Structure 1
């Protein structure tokens, strides 16, 4: 097992996230719906989706980290990514371009790079001054030994998503926030392992945002 490899199982990560989200299913569902609606509207505008995807992804990361670490479900955190608009946009675009470039070579290298860069937006949430390439490099370092686990978690969510089809889509309302908070929990575990922090210690800081 590599030094950075986290020991918490995907099932435990998802269970932990579900317990957090279950504290307020209503607001959790509303938050995910707001994010989905905004991204859907933006996708209808070719230039709009490029401009808002980065900040919205960062805002979704803030939102899930506040739920995970502070049991706070405020929907307004979804828009906090716009407070770091340029950095969020640059980081997101770099990630998309680099993954696309690797995919042009072969599909598998593209998938590997997508997994390697998967923590960059969460890193930006904790370290808002970090520049795009630095966030990607740090994510790549953090994900050494963890890419397979992350990939398997994605497959599990894919299967759960398929199962939600048979609920006439209602299951997606509950699955979406669990997925996002699970990804935040995965990031926290990877971050703690990478930085050497005690697994029992709470990470309270979320960037420079102390919204009261």
Structure 2
């Protein structure tokens, strides 16, 4: 029997009735390690503009010269081509370092936490909420396999996205069950986990996309309260996605697409 959005959401609500605040905490962590945290660029821009305005107020310049330093400093000699190139190079290096640090944190910290967060939501539906599941990816000697498998999942999605946007979106749904599969069996080989996710989602990707669309209204409502309300929608979506995995897992086993034995940690 095909799953329905209403059924998954009803189950998720039942789970959240007794696990909401733990689920809320895990959802915040998942949002952070998933790279979906909001920035404060507009605030920084305003601060930058105000700082620049104050500087010009204090040190008025005319005819290309700064006044107020006690002597004249030619403006053109400071902001010449060499200085501009130097500043661009410095900013470029800083940006590159920040990018590499962010990628490293995503891979070595974010991937295990993402898998642990998915395990938390699945286990909350099965047995009850336990925050210890969040650190599951760092234990039992499975860390490197989890990092490797999750890395290749994102790498494959990235390569597909280089072709066209649509293939990248489709593949993101095809590989979306990988962290849940690793949560059941973190020792599973990379290619097996990815193929199993593809088998689970076969024939379901369009409905999964529609399921995602069904949360847009909730997120719009969440943005009304200065965006804070969005944080309270995250547990609802994560719990629903866990119910989706449970249902897809069940259907795939019953149809012979996957073996239940493969989803048990040895």
TM-score by length of 2: 0.67
Match among 182, 191, 202 for residue 240 of structure 2? 182
Count of aligned pairs: 196
Relative to structure 1, the CA distance from residue 43 to residue 63 in structure 2 (aligned partners, 3 Å threshold; closer, same or farther) is farther
What's the counterpart of residue 230 of structure 2?
A: 172
Q: Which has the higher contact order (CA 8 A, sep 6+)?
A: 1
Deviation at 1:124, TM superposition (A): 0.9
* Residue 19 of structure 2 corresponds to residue 24 of structure 1: yes
Partner of 2:174: 116
Does the aligned pair in 2 maintain the 1:128–1:207 contact within 8 Å?
Answer: no
Q: Which one of 54, 75, 85 corresponds to residue 131 of structure 2?
A: 75
Equivalent residues of 1:123, 1:135 under 8 A apart: yes
In the alignment, what sits opposite 1:196?
Answer: 254
Distance in 2 separating the partners of 1:39 and 1:102: 19
Give the structure 2 partner of residue 3 of structure 1.
none
8 A contact 1:125–1:207 mirrored in 2: no
Deviation at 1:31, TM superposition (A): 2.6
In 1, are the aligned partners of 2:115 and 2:182 still within 8 Å (CA)?
A: yes
- The higher radius of gyration belongs to 2
Distance 1:58 1:106, change over 3 A: same
Give unpaired runs (5+ residues) of structure 2: 38-97
Counterpart in the other structure of 2:114: 57
Q: Match for residue 103 of structure 1?
A: 161
**Runs of 5+ unmatched residues, structure 1:** 1-5, 198-202
Q: Distance in 2 between matches of 1:44 and 1:166?
A: 34
- 2:124 counterpart of 1:129: no
CA RMSD in angstroms, aligned pairs only: 2.6
Determine helix, strand or coil for the equivalent of 1:45. Answer: helix
Q: Distance in 2 between matches of 1:129 and 1:142?
A: 19
Alignment check: 8 A CA contact 2:33 2:110 kept = no
